[in-house]
Structure 1
Amino acid sequence: MTQNFQPPAPASYTPAPAPAPARGGNIGLGIAAAVGAALVLAAVYGAVIGTTKYEIGYAAVAVGAVIGLAAGKVGGRNPVLPVLSVLLALAAVLGGQMFGLAMIVADQNSVSTTDVLNLGVSLLFEGWKENADPMTFLFFAIGGYAAFQTARKTAH
């Protein structure tokens, strides 16, 4: 008995889908996220300084790292974002220190922090300069470095 032998049907295959386009991020959203983080972190850092009456240098590093994280995760690999993160981190640390100083001065004089802030930033800055020491500037540098590296390394 002979059977009719038929060759197997050619295997059908589904081609692999095209790879997803590389996500470049959104620089506008990255900038907005970094600015928002800087504003919030400046207030938080200032409140920590104002309530403890101490400048906590490692908090400056955390401020830089979180700002860099926000910029890198949201904004992607745009080379502007790490540099912007450094500038925002420095501004946030300085703003936090100034806000903390305003809280301390307000507490010492039994007035509100708003009253001290209304006297003018130039007076606060003069007081800040009198109290700044080399460690202040070292933590500025480390906070800026943390912002740059975090933004660069977390970008996708």
Structure 2
Amino acid sequence: MSQPTPPSQPTEGNPYAAQQPVAGNPYAGQQPSDGNPFAGQQQPTGGNPFAGGQQPGFAPAPPAPRQGNFALGIVAAVVAALVTAGIYGAIIGASGYEIGYAAVGVGFLTGLAAGRIGGSNPVLPVLSAVLALGAIYAGQIIGVAMIGADESGISATTLLTDHFDLVTSAWKESADFMTYLFFGIGAFAAFSGAKKAAA
């Protein structure tokens, strides 16, 4: 004997008409796709719940210090020290005066060359300061030799090679407090110049 078929429910005016179970399944029409309960919802990208936005509580990482070639940085500092020493000596020889600001320039350019090429190696600022001291001293010695050459008629090269003791004695006699002050300022300018150039 066949089962009686229940009468069909009217759909007009029935608020539950769209939610009637289908084929005996009370959740038909509400099943998640492929067994995923979050189907249809936006999934986080790459498993990151904060994808697409800034992660809370995290500041952007500071830029990494600029890397360079340490050996080339030393070479650049030495070359800069030699060149600026010659220029500084020529300025002193031409003017007849020790110009302190030129000593600061010697130090800064030496440090700048070291830091720009050598990068952020912590040895370079210290080495730049030492080289700057040597360059400032060499520049002043060259200047004294050029002034002595004008007064004696002997070339500056001859004074530096054959009478270096006389040149250093003349430098010591002319050195004063400002001479040593600009040594210190020039070394500091080299140290800070290397630091800034490597940043």
TM-score range relative to shorter protein? 0.7 to 0.9
CA distance in structure 1 between the partners assigned to 2:96 and 2:107 by the alignment: 21
Distance change >3 Å, CA 123–CA 24, structure 1 → 2: same
Bigger shift: residues 109-118 or 33-42: 109-118
1:112 alignment counterpart: 155
How far apart, in 1, do the equivalents of 2:86 and 2:118 lie? Answer: 23
Q: Distance in 2 between matches of 1:122 and 1:48?
A: 22
Aligned to 1:27: 70
Q: Give the Cα–Cα distance (whole angstroms) in 2 for the partners of residues 22 and 100 of structure 1.
A: 39
Closer/same/farther in 2, CA of residues 22 and 143 from structure 1, 3 Å limit: closer
Larger relative helix fraction? 1
Q: How does the TM-score come out when normalised to structure 1?
A: 0.84
Q: Distance in 2 between matches of 1:122 and 1:28?
A: 34
Describe how 1:134-145 pairs up with structure 2 within 5 A. Answer: 134-145=177-188
Q: List structure 1 runs of 4+ shifted beyond 6 angstroms.
A: none
Structure 1 equivalent of residue 87 of structure 2: 44
> Could you tell me how far apart the structure 2 residues matched to 1:97 and 1:89 are?
12
In 2, Cα distance between equivalents of 1:120 and 1:31: 31
CA distance in 2, matches of 1:136, 1:146: 15
TM-score w.r.t. length of structure 2: 0.66
Tell whether the 8 Å contact from 2:65 to 2:120 is kept in structure 1 after alignment: no
For residues 79 and 114 of structure 2, the distance between their equivalents in structure 1, rounded to whole angstroms, comes to 10
Q: Deviations over 1:29-51 (max 9, x none)?
A: 00000000000010000000001
Aligned-partner Cα distance in 2 for 1:153–1:35 = 18
AA at the equivalent of 2:104: V
Query: Which residue does 1:74 correspond to in 2?
Result: 117
Give the gaps of 5 or more residues in structure 2: 1-63
- Aligned ranges for residues 86-101 of structure 1 at < 5 Å? 86-101=129-144
Secondary structure of the 2:98 match is coil
Per-residue CA deviations over 1:45-68 (Å, capped at 9, x if unaligned) read 000000110100000001000001
Asked which structure has the greater CA Rg, the reply is 2
